[in-house]
Amino acid sequence: MVSKKLTVADFFCGAGGFSEGFRQKGFDVVFSLDNWAPAKKTHDLNHPDCQCELMDILELDTIEKIENIVPDTDIIVGSPPCVSFSGSNKAGKADKSLGIRLIKAYLRIIAVKLKKGTCKYWILENVPNSGKYIQDSYTWEELGLPGGKKIAIEIPVKGILNAAEYGAPQTRKRFVCGNYPEPYKSHEDKKSWITMRNVQKALSNPLDITHPSKIKDPVYGFELDSKNLTDHFYDTSVADYEWMRSKRLKEDHGFMGKMSFPEYLDRPSRTVMATMSASTRESIIFEAIKSNKQTGYRLPTIREIACFMSFPITYQFEGANENTKYKLIGNAVCCKLSSALAEAIAKAERTKIQEYIPQKIIKSSFDLTGIKRSPKVPKPRAKDARFAIPIPYLKIKSFRVELSNTDSEFSKGKYVWKSKVHYGSGKSAKVAILDLKKLDKVLFSNKNFSTFKKDLENSFKDFKLSARELQESYVLNGKSKVVSPDKALELIRKLITKHYTNQEAVSIENKFIEIERAEIPLLTIIGAYACGYFVSLIKN
């Protein structure tokens, strides 16, 4: 058994998730690099013996610069920023050029160290979608270094690894490539996965006035005096308008599947994002419990998401506010995935695998404990904000009815509102705009239609907005006293529910819509009529 510690360099080190995993297994993390000051401060705080450089990796564009700044290490790890490749960024259609440049900059360093013979193992971690943009090999020319078309680096191992299978309380799937031995899946059986409930039970309720004297780490099992637990005992409650929007996007998204609201606790967390939000589909939202009663909904605390990322409860995050700390954690590598990779390398090298040792706590300069959150109020939207939202909870057999302003020419001051019927999702989705008079004829014989129509007309009898004024009411985001498009859709849904209960299975023969379906759900046609009627009232 070799006793010498293997050395590690961590690029795009962020909060230090990669470094922490290797530290846990007894490796010596001697160098790290990031271009964001809070990341460097966090890495310095938790890994004080490591030389951490604050600089842009793109500056390391020559062999000389690389050799002058980057020390020789046995292992190089790195997690280039994933925002370019993330499926949540512009539905996966974001510009990939910067992300590809950063990956090449990282590979450039590895290629230099491989040629020198000092680097034995290397790992690159990123979102699954990034794998499509990483080649099997790169020439020196492609990496921007002397050497022409000769191969500078080959990538022998590629795969998708799920952090939950390595002991993290999060089903975070990541593309991992490089030269490394296969890590052991300590939690391959889903029954052994650490859940959000396990984390919450271990940390205790952050909203309780009293809490246990000792807190047990839900991932590593050691105990800590609760007075030393940072970034947890504070209020993360969210405003009603925030969680209501999130609930709608999760349960009634126009073309994506249903998600749980609030979170189903008996499973690991979903992927923790880098942006803290309570009003998106990706938001992680829990019930807010005070004195054993639900008082609303809340976001996870910083300590909770740190545990989801398998950071020990002693780990500190150096940020001046909650948002910065959230970004540090959401951008990190799961420590348990990193430690599994480190252990695999240690076994391959026959070096001693260290038992877990908690770090000495040196608290960050800003602890969220006791911080009170000011209730958020809706901010006005941009004047050209787009609106394309279906009638709430009226998605039936892949049909939905949408109120939309996306055909507007905002730059010319031309506002256009339309009622559209959508069928299917993605690029293959079909869209049709129905004629109100044709719908009236189709529904004329329906026994409930006459009373529904009268109720609809009465509900909107005072509506007298122009297309521009309706846009302005949407832009004001709840601060307008007149009818907004959101409120109009909610009212339409209430009217449909009032007059057409338990009729989702009823369909009408399709002779009036340019979508290749033999039948259309009755409630879709009712919704299209109601939405079309509302549009007909809008003055141009």
Instruction: Enumerate the active-site residues.
Output: 82
Other Cβ atoms less than 10 A from the Cβ of 259: the count is 17
Task: Check if the beta carbon of residue 268 is closer than 8 Å to that of residue 300.
Answer: no
Q: How many CA atoms lie within 13 A of 387 on its CB side?
A: 30
Other Cβ atoms less than 10 A from the Cβ of 512: the count is 15
Task: Check if the beta carbon of residue 78 is closer than 8 Å to that of residue 14.
Answer: no
User: How far is Cα 32 from Cα 47, in angstroms, rounded to an integer?
Assistant: 10
- Which residues 6+ apart lie within 8 Å of 458 measured at CB? none
DSSP character string of 472-518:
HHHHTTT--SSPPHHHHHHHHHHHHHHH-TT-TT-EEE-SS-SSS-S
- Which residues 6+ apart lie within 8 Å of 511 measured at CB? none
User: How far is Cα 386 from Cα 166, in angstroms, rounded to an integer?
Assistant: 42
DSSP character string of 173-237:
EEEEEEE-PPPP-TT-SGGGPPPHHHHHHHH--TT-SS--SEEE-TTT--EEEGGG--S-SS--B
Task: Check if the beta carbon of residue 299 is closer than 8 Å to that of residue 243.
Answer: no
User: How far is Cα 114 from Cα 112, in angstroms, rounded to an integer?
Assistant: 6
Q: Of how many residues is the chain composed?
A: 540
Q: Are strands 173-179 and 157-162 parallel, antiparallel or unpaired?
A: antiparallel
User: How far is Cα 375 from Cα 239, in angstroms, rounded to an integer?
Assistant: 6
- Which residues 6+ apart lie within 8 Å of 252 measured at CB? 258, 390, 392, 393, 395
Distance of CA 291 to the CA centre of its chain: 31
Distance of CA 405 to the CA centre of its chain: 27
- Which residues 6+ apart lie within 8 Å of 318 measured at CB? 38, 41, 42, 44, 45, 328, 364, 365, 366
User: How far is Cα 55 from Cα 12, in angstroms, rounded to an integer?
Assistant: 10
Residue 520 one-letter amino acid: I
